[in-house]
């Protein structure tokens, strides 16, 4: 006779005594969708322990969907040949009572700029594929950490070439389509376009993305999923084709805040090969899933539907440009704020000393006062060295590889020197010592301190604003000329969790609500975002998923 869901959760928690897994299972919902790939990973694990399904069955279903919907939406860069074997290995660990944690057996994806051992790295660029057709010998550190947690990496998702733009346009696999748009004309956003589409479309529970100026948050909004930009440096970036070392921030996309949190839990912590990675916020992130109780299934209160109760949320007016938003978008934003209030939050206007309007000026002012060079997060030397180190990590002749890829890479990162000798001269100067980059990092620390002081004075726990002030435009059209705080978040290195806030009358995702905090506040932000999500519960899968 099969046991009840509650008994199954308790049994699995007692069997494994794994804090991250027990906490996740405690959050498994009372009901689950008929399609397990549209559930949460805790619900998936609960169904496994009850014997209702196996990781192999779910991974096989995910791969089938990737080969149908994923291909038609041009969301897939490549699929791993080892995914089914990895799923079977997870099922064997479950049979032996030795699951590795909450992610064991869970299907996930990485973005096309990530290295996967035994596969080439395309960067979503047709020219890069031609120049570098060989398989790489090592996983990116984030991929390695996911595998160590037992996750089944299904493959890689399509993106803009070199993760440079925000439209989801790849010269290798084509324009990624928005799965909610039957006309196939609206952008899914980018650059982490495919990552957002595979989670929205029920091909994985979560996916790795990258964000230099909105590349996780834009597609999160345009496809109606959760997207996170963690605190800068919390997630190391070793083994990923670089962008801007002083801005680039890696994090999860998922259908639920819980699944985003569980992926991030596996990723955090410094890595020696990424000189700008650190451990600030790592311990609180890991403690977020600490459990207690006889069966280790009781989650600490910070991650409950009550996490917004008594929290003060600040609205920075310039970051919510009501006069430039449609009436439908304004109404949706107001409804999201009302949901936060219903969940117990206090929402009020906050006069921030630094905003998207003056952030660059503030950085320059404090650098000038220090007598430093002008801050520049797009310093050519830092990016050149990051590319050199990316190749060196593979054990190849990094100088020769950089020369081979120079023209293709520079076509997007056009601050780099056009001639090879000038580019070569920059390769080996460590980016962590680059004068313009160091000046930028020091200015960031000072300006963040100004923001933190103002937030403390007003007792503000987090900022909230629309992730984007408009829904997905047509992929071939210029975007509305409305400035957003996306780049502000990257300059400041602030953590941000973008959560679906609803759909328009045509069923298209209309907007997301962003929760923004200070560096190291990742766990607290996720807890607040979770509480909002439980109050609003807006995610809906694309209509096409029901037929596949």
Tokens matching residue 417: 């020197």
- CA–CA gap between residue 78 and residue 155 (Å, rounded): 6
The DSSP secondary structure of 182-240, one letter per residue, reads: TTS-B---SSSHHHHHHHHTTS-SEEEEEESSSTTHHHHHHHT-EEEE-STTSS--TTB
**Which residue's structure tokens are 């993305």?**
209
Q: Are 526 and 255 in contact (CB under 8 A)?
A: no
**Terminal CA-to-CA distance of the chain, rounded, Å?**
32
Tokens matching residue 261: 């949190």
| Residue 111: active-site member | yes
Strand partners, 251: 209
- CA–CA gap between residue 222 and residue 518 (Å, rounded): 25
Q: Which of 191, 231, 238, 443 is catalytic?
A: 191
Closest to 231 measured CA to CA, from 532, 442, 448: 448
**How many residues are recorded in the chain?**
548
Closest to 103 measured CA to CA, from 29, 19, 36, 163: 19
The β-bridge relationship of strands 496-500 and 346-349 is unpaired
SS3 call for 416: coil
What are phi and psi for residue 399, nearest 5 degrees?
-65, -45
- CA–CA gap between residue 86 and residue 76 (Å, rounded): 19
| Residue 215: active-site member | yes
* Cis amide linkage into residue 191, ω under 30° from 0: yes
| Residue 335: active-site member | no
| Inter-CA distances, 61 with 169, 539, 540, Å | 27, 21, 19
What are phi and psi for residue 119, nearest 5 degrees?
-130, 150
- CA–CA gap between residue 450 and residue 354 (Å, rounded): 8
Q: Which of 20, 22, 41, 111 is catalytic?
A: 111
- CA–CA gap between residue 288 and residue 521 (Å, rounded): 11
Classify each residue of 181-211 as buried b or exposed e, where b means 16 or more C-beta atoms within 10 Å of its C-beta.
beeeebbbbbbbbbbbbbbbbbbbbbbbbbb
What are phi and psi for residue 209, nearest 5 degrees?
-135, 175
Q: Which of 80, 215, 231, 329 is catalytic?
A: 215
Strand partners, 229: 496
Tokens matching residue 178: 């928005």
**Which sequence positions are flagged as catalytic?**
111, 191, 215
């Amino acid at each position: 006779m099969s046991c009840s869901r509650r008994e199954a959760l308790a049994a699995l928690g007692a069997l494994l005594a794994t804090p991250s897994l027990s906490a996740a299972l405690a959050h498994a919902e009372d009901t689950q969708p008929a399609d397990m790939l549209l559930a949460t990973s805790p619900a998936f694990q609960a169904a496994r322990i009850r014997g209702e399904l196996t990781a192999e069955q779910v991974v096989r279903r995910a791969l089938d969907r990737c080969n149908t919907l994923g291909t038609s939406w041009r969301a897939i860069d490549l699929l791993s040949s080892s995914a089914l074997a990895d799923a079977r290995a997870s099922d064997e660990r479950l049979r032996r009572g030795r699951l590795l944690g909450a992610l064991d057996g869970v299907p996930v994806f990485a973005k096309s700029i990530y290295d996967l051992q035994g596969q080439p790295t395309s960067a979503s660029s047709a020219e890069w594929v031609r120049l570098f057709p060989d398989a790489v010998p090592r996983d990116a550190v984030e991929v390695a950490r996911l595998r160590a947690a037992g996750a089944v990496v299904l493959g890689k998702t399509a993106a803009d070439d070199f993760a440079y733009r925000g439209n989801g346009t790849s010269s290798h696999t084509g324009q990624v389509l928005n799965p909610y748009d039957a006309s196939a004309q609206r952008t899914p956003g980018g650059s982490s376009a495919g990552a957002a589409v595979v989670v929205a479309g029920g091909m994985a529970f979560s996916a790795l993305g990258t964000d230099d100026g909105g590349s996780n948050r834009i597609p999160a909004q345009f496809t109606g999923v959760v997207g996170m930009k963690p605190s800068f440096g919390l997630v190391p970036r070793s083994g990923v084709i670089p962008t801007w070392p002083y801005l680039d921030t890696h994090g999860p996309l998922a259908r639920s805040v819980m699944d985003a949190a569980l992926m991030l839990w596996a990723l955090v912590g410094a890595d020696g090969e990424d000189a700008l990675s650190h451990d600030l916020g790592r311990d609180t992130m890991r403690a977020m899933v600490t459990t207690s109780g006889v069966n280790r299934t009781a989650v600490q209160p910070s991650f409950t539907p009550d996490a917004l109760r008594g929290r003060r949320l600040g609205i920075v007016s310039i970051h919510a440009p009501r006069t430039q938003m449609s009436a439908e978008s304004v109404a949706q934003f107001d409804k999201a704020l009302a949901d936060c209030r219903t969940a117990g939050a206090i929402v009020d206007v906050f006069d921030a000393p630094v905003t998207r309007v003056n952030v660059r000026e503030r950085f320059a002012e404090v650098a000038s006062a220090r007598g430093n060079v002008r801050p520049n997060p797009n310093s050519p030397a830092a990016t050149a060295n990051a590319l050199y180190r990316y190749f060196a990590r593979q054990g190849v002749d990094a100088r020769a590889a950089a020369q081979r890829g120079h023209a293709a890479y520079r076509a997007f990162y056009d601050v780099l020197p056009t001639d090879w000798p000038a580019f070569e001269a920059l390769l080996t100067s460590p980016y962590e010592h680059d004068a313009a980059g160091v000046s930028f990092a020091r200015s960031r620390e000072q300006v963040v301190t100004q923001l933190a002081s103002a937030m403390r004075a007003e007792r503000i726990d987090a900022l909230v604003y629309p992730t984007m002030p408009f829904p997905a435009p047509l992929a071939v059209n210029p975007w509305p000329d409305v400035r957003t705080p996306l780049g502000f978040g990257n300059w400041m290195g602030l953590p941000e969790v973008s959560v679906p806030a609803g759909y328009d009358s045509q069923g298209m995702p209309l907007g997301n609500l962003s929760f923004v905090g200070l560096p190291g506040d990742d766990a607290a932000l996720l807890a607040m975002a979770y509480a909002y999500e439980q109050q609003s519960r807006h995610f809906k899968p694309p209509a096409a998923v029901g037929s596949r």
